[in-house]
Amino acid sequence: MLIGDIDIHPLTDGTFRASPGYFGDHARPEGHDDLFAHDGMAWLPIGCFLVRTGERTILVDAGMGPRMRDDGPRRLLVGGQLLLGLRAVGVRTGDVTDIVCTHLHADHCGWLFDAQARPVFPHAEIWFGAPDWAHFVMGPEAWMFDHIRHGLRTAEAAGTRLRLVAEDTTVAPGVDVTMTPGHLSVIVSSRDRRILLLGDAIVCPVQLDEPTWHSIGDVDPVLARRVRERLFRELEDPDTLGAGAHFPELRFGRVLAAQGRRWLT
């Protein structure tokens, strides 16, 4: 995807398998056979986005890393492919200047540090929401790998590399971070066109048709639903496209509102 002078390349770190129950106990597969096409399961990517401007090479989300998490029928995550994808598009780990983690769930920050808590991307500044520091790094939140937590604490103690975001912020010309409560989204804009990189603010476009379907990561489902609705309204703009970290095949799309709202890729 080329937005003016900025190149955006979707990359997958692996597979996220979800049952309808991932979206809530009330979620049912009927009417969504295309999504739950494989033995009643949705097979979604663990997505990242490489954003290349004139001077910066920015990675939005850092995948699961070479790890697996099995939560039974509701959710299975298997990572490990991000570095291969970067090499395929000619990017080395030392080329990445910035990493924006939309939030610090394990499947969005898994490549920040290796098993010895050493930086995988040695020259990159790491951007994430300031509230995530207390919740994931210093708090009791369990779903962060220990080596990632240790690496973040070491970087903080050294006073280097970490950029905690508490308000809408510019990462690079044409690349801005906007606060979505409990979360960050990234806006890439150039020549009157915009791309929204949504992280998990919208987990899957099916939530346009099923607004009560939420993610098991939504701490406040009511607030999360309001945020999703605001973002879907933004995506009604014909010059704005969007994609989330787990959108099927990481396809960009927008909301077509002319004859009943529907997702258009």
Give the C-alpha separation, 9 to 2, whole Å.
9
The tens digit of pLDDT for each residue in 109-150 reads 999 999 999 999 999 999 999 999 988 998 876 678 999 999
The tens digit of pLDDT for each residue in 102-112 reads 999 999 999 99
**84 within domain boundaries:** yes
Q: Provide, rounded to the nearest whole percent, the portion of the chain with pLDDT above 90.
A: 86
**199 within domain boundaries:** no
CATH code for position 141: 3.60.15.10
**139 within domain boundaries:** yes
Give the C-alpha separation, 13 to 82, whole Å.
4
**6 within domain boundaries:** yes
**29 within domain boundaries:** yes
Q: How confident is the model at residue 18 (pLDDT cuts 50, 70, 90)?
A: very high
**128 within domain boundaries:** yes
**121 within domain boundaries:** yes
Number of domains in the chain: 1
The label of the residue with tokens 């910066």 reads 56
**Cβ-based neighbour number of residue 133 at 10 Å:** 17
The tens digit of pLDDT for each residue in 147-201 reads 999 999 999 999 889 999 999 999 999 999 999 988 999 999 999 899 999 999 9
The tens digit of pLDDT for each residue in 193-244 reads 999 999 999 999 999 999 999 987 888 889 999 999 999 999 999 999 999 9
**261 within domain boundaries:** no
Residues of the domain holding 26: 2-193
